[in-house]
Amino acid sequence: MARRASSGVNTKALLSGAGALVLLLGGAFWFINRDTSGFDAPPLSISREIDQYRSLAGNTNTITGILHKRPPTKNAGQMATLKDSENNYIFIIIPEDFKGGNLNLQDEYTFLVKFNTDGVPVALDVTQN
């Protein structure tokens, strides 16, 4: 009596599965190790910040508004003033080592800020909208 040959290992399915596994692991590695943009921080409305400034200490957020006043370019380490669409104002400390470039009055900017222990926002980075 003749025996049937065994089907053996399905090499196409095995290679497809291995390829999918490699792609999945590579995607997971990229996602975990990618450099996140600082501007991925949650946005903060100026009116909320005015009411809860102490509770924001240590948080990193973005604040968008029109530059109302700015420090002189040769005198860093001062405060800039942003105004939102509801005419609320917020002061942002511009540290001495800030490399955000030239800030123009009446232009709209989004600042990446970290709130210091007193709840005052300190600029980390800026983009012009």
pLDDT for res 126: 85
pLDDT for res 128: 84
d(CA 10, CA 8): 6
Q: Where are the domains of the chain?
A: 38-128
Beta bridge partners of 60: 114
pLDDT for res 96: 77
d(CA 78, CA 75): 7
- Residue by residue, DSSP assigns 65-100 as EEEEE---TTS-SEEEEEE-TTS-EEEEEE-TT---
pLDDT for res 57: 81
| Fold held by 38-128 | OB fold (Dihydrolipoamide Acetyltransferase, E2P) (2.40.50)
* Main-chain phi, psi angles of 52, to 5 degrees: -130, 40
Return the structure tokens found at 126: 């800026």
Strands 78-83 and 89-94: antiparallel
pTM over 0.85: no
pLDDT tens, residue order, the chain (129 aa): 566 666 677 888 888 999 999 998 888 887 777 665 566 676 776 666 566 667 778 888 888 888 887 656 555 567 888 888 788 888 888 887 777 667 788 888 888 888 888 888 888 888 888
